[in-house]
């Protein structure tokens, strides 16, 4: 079995009700062995410096 971490990228509608739950899910996934999770919830108030399209494409295309 490969020791490389599997990457999970979560994108969702920035609904205030979901923000906390998505953050909890990402934190939980990152505690699991062999998983590296990220989401766009960290940018819910400030867009990524490189712009949404570039940031999203980079995160979706990075191999696990």
Q: 41: pLDDT confidence band, cut at 50, 70 and 90?
A: confident
Sign of CA dihedral 34, 40, 44, 46: positive
User: Has residue 34 got a pLDDT over 90?
Assistant: yes
Task: Single out the residue of 32, 50, 31 nearest to residue 40, CA to CA.
Answer: 50
Buried b (16+ CB within 10 A) or exposed e, 2-38: eeeeeebbeeeeeeeeeeeebeebbeebeeeeeeebb
Answer yes or no: is pLDDT of 56 > 90. Answer: no
Number of domains in the chain: 1
- Categorize the per-residue pLDDT at 2 as very low, low, confident or very high, splitting at 50, 70 and 90: low
Q: Which domain holds residue 34?
A: 6-61
Residue in 61, 62, 64, 63 with CA at minimum distance from that of residue 6: 64
């Amino acid at each position: 079995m490969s020791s490389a971490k599997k990457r999970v990228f979560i994108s969702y509608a920035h609904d205030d009700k979901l923000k906390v739950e998505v953050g909890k899910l990402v934190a939980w996934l990152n505690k699991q062995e062999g998983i590296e999770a990220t989401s766009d919830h960290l940018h819910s108030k400030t867009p990524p410096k490189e712009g949404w399209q570039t940031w999203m494409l980079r995160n979706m295309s990075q191999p696990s």
